[in-house]
Structure 1
């Protein structure tokens, strides 16, 4: 899976670093199946530091053992054993299985990744969880498994489209299996729900797993989804204007 284009963690220092599917710099988490996007977007990688304000004057991200925290969304994503988690002021991500991307071996992709951000930060204006998930899934698939790194997505199969409860909130998820022209095929999932901490804020969580013996099992995607919880200290909702 490659880094999702335009999907960034907004960190405490104001530097830019992408997160999402596939390829990503060693300093930032990556999603499975995609190249590193243009880094000229908002933000940078967040660090697992305590709440408060850092030396630069930017807010720090609260940390919690075993979780990656998306401060703006007010959620924490579980970090499975052997995975890497990264918290951010706006956005969070967990990844595993870094490898050379199939379409460009100078770039790094990952076997599995799960990333969150406020829907507004991802330019999703839908007002319901179902509409947000249905709108995002195509973009998620293309940014995770399309383009130069994985080639054209020749087809997809919808595996799930249903209402769910996440972190005590009503939400909706859509999951596809996608077939690529280069490298591994993949599973992509777009999950949307209202923040458990920031009133009225819609959150989107993108997941992508390679279909490969070295990739995590699809059941792990369900485990991570079910393990998402309200972040300690609540959410800031600051991603609404990103």
Structure 2
């Protein structure tokens, strides 16, 4: 069974900011909040276009940035439909019900009562996706209720030295949390790679992407499932060029759920070698103690 927590709202229509809904372990409740990525945050720029539970990742990989968490209490909520429902058992104290106005929170990925998702040494856990990413030596790993991330090599962004970029970044999230609706891993990976490239190296931190070369496109086995990976080398307007990769595979714990892992590495002597990215892919596994939803709806 999927554990109680904030998850992408299965009833979200696509109009207005994306939102999350509270799953109490048995049913969807009337408590909603704005998805962390939909809220404007302050912080250093170092991450990817994935909403990670502990931090908000607003772009992906080497050329990307991470929006750090604000101070404060649990993540805020957002208004939805005007219908209100009674408080269900186990509902979060800080959550708002449908029709109630909420505020911006810190996006720290903690569940009710400040509980963090389960972790294990040497891995960053994406609880919603049911996977754990191996943390290479010298890297920083971040676990989250929705999403997980790995980063290394912080440095001043070439296009905006007031911001911080990273030499390498790898981030995961359920495909639904990234609004990626393609049906198969191959379709999803091929659809995601251009967005990954743009968010990683196409912003002001690295300037526009002038061209790209496809280095890899093919099937791959990840955490026992049949997935698909696409890797590009992109040429940027400012600073280093980059490698970007979109990897999509079925969740090992939730039927019919696809997981997206976005990666970005600078082309630089101080950046990780691509062999490290391959090692991370081989090391992805089912998260210890993570449950799966019967229909893949987290």
**Fold shared by both chains (TM-score > 0.5):** yes
Q: 1:24-173 to 2 correspondence within 5 Å?
A: 31-36=61-66, 44-46=107-109, 54-56=112-114, 60-173=116-229
Aligned to 2:48: 4
Residues 131-157 of structure 1, C-alpha deviations (whole Å, 9 max, x = no match): 010010000000001111111100000
Task: Give yes or no for contact 1:4–1:37 (8 Å, CA) kept in 2.
Answer: no
Q: Distance in 2 between matches of 1:205 and 1:44?
A: 20
Listed as ranges, the gaps of 5+ residues in structure 1 are: 12-16, 23-30, 48-52
Task: Give yes or no for contact 1:2–1:34 (8 Å, CA) kept in 2.
Answer: yes
Q: Distance in 1 between matches of 2:219 and 2:139?
A: 27
Q: Which moved more, 1:227-236 or 1:210-219?
A: 227-236
Describe the SS at the equivalent of 1:99.
strand
Q: CA deviation at 1:42?
A: 8.7
Rate the CA distance shift 1:138–1:37 in 2: closer, same or farther, 3 A: farther
Provide the aligned C-alpha RMSD in A: 2.6
Q: CA deviation at 1:3?
A: 2.7
Is 2:258 aligned against 1:175? no
Equivalent pairs, count: 220
Give the TM-score, by structure 1 length. 0.83
Give the TM-score, by structure 2 length. 0.68
Listed as ranges, the gaps of 5+ residues in structure 2 are: 1-44, 70-75, 77-103
Task: State the structure with bigger RCO (CA 8 A, min sep 6), 1 or 2.
Answer: 1
Is 2:260 aligned against 1:225? no
Q: Distance in 1 between matches of 2:212 and 2:291?
A: 35
Q: CA deviation at 1:179?
A: 0.4
Residues 178-210 of structure 1, C-alpha deviations (whole Å, 9 max, x = no match): 000101000000000000011111100001100
Q: CA deviation at 1:8?
A: 1.6
Larger radius of gyration: 2
Q: Distance in 1 between matches of 2:166 and 2:59?
A: 7
Rate the CA distance shift 1:95–1:235 in 2: closer, same or farther, 3 A: farther
Describe the SS at the equivalent of 1:82.
coil
Q: Distance in 2 between matches of 1:130 and 1:42?
A: 35
Task: Give yes or no for contact 1:21–1:208 (8 Å, CA) kept in 2.
Answer: no
